Structure 1
Amino acid sequence: AHCRGVGDQASRFAETLGLPPALVDDLGLAGDLHDAGKADPRFQAWLYGGTAPPAAPLLAKSGSLDRLDRQAVASARDLAGYPRGGRHECASVQLLRAYPGLLATAHDPELVEHLVGSHHGRGRPFLPVIDDPGAATLDASFELFDRRLRLRGPHGLERLDSDWPERFARLQRRYGWWGLAWLEALLRLADHRRSEDERRMRQEETDHE
């Protein structure tokens, strides 16, 4: 629901700004797919406070962790086994590369992949090198939008031969220095606004109970 909400918000931003229909569609698709990497079981355990219940539904945001309590957040991450500095957006891109069909409707698949990988401001052009020994044995199967996906192994996007920096340069030539940054900002702000709306709705539900 969060992913769909971000996709809808990004599309509305782009349409209101008068962007071409192809960019409206691609921003919406990037929003739909931006958090797919959070399906990593370790990330899910983190969102659940350190341990995910059996057959627990996938979360995009934690309903139990106070984000302002940094010690509690760090303790939950360590308990879950998610690496410090790990980036879920890298796992999202990993899934896009493993399942090209996810980008079948994209007008510019390179753009959608870049927007997904950079939606927290990293990957311009390098993604961080993270010590993640647990990635070697990562093997998780899950369902997203009625499609069965499998997340396996390290993403490798921090490598210089991953084509990520070259892709960033190609997109800058295609959309311009500021044009690419603007498209990134639209998705990032759509994510922020949707998250704010969800927090407000949860608070309203709590107030009514």
Structure 2
Amino acid sequence: MIKYRIKINIPGWYTSRGMENTATKAIKKTKYTADIYSAVGWFEDNIFSSLMSELDKDKVQKRVRLSTIMNIHDKSGLKDRSKISRMRKSIEDGRHTLARSGMPNIKILKLSSKELFLFDGHHSLLAYMSAGKRYLHQIPYLIIEEKDEQKILDNNFQRFFGEHLKWKRREKWQNYTINWNARGKKKLEERRQRNMGELFDVLGERGIV
């Protein structure tokens, strides 16, 4: 039985001291958690609120730069770019960007290569970067992983990229991003920004962040 491992982090005053505030839960793959999005949704509805009481502060073992996280959307795939500045203002005022449940908007898939793949929360992550945050432990996030990377990717390609990746070689999936604003096959785009750092820089050149 495939198990997803989900980790959440909710930063606070201790973050500036090199601490993170995390909790982790393993959930089985069932008909209610058939893919990553449904697994995260089920986790939010059934586990997240109780897991908040299990948050534990610990010293950050390895600082992960936000700029190194792989993006699923390039700049053309961001719908409402004005959201970034509004979110940044909220962050600078001391409020985190969270879902109504309090769960982090920023959702990341951890690959077996240890590479981090952002599949939800691009506006939020860019807003934190714009507000001066540089490391993962400084922001609220959810990371989901599973030991068999190929299985988790196979089960989620359609959710990540729609039907459009079938026209390409799946083993080259890192070369593409998805733009839900486009039509038909044009939704699948050749990757232009390799990570969130490059995406942030491009938007900065245009005065968006």
Say whether the fold is shared (TM-score over 0.5).
Answer: no
| Larger RCO (CA under 8 A, 6+ residues apart) | 2
- Structure having the higher helix fraction is 1
Q: Calculate the TM-score normalised by the size of structure 1.
A: 0.30
Q: Calculate the TM-score normalised by the size of structure 2.
A: 0.30
- Structure having the higher strand fraction is 2
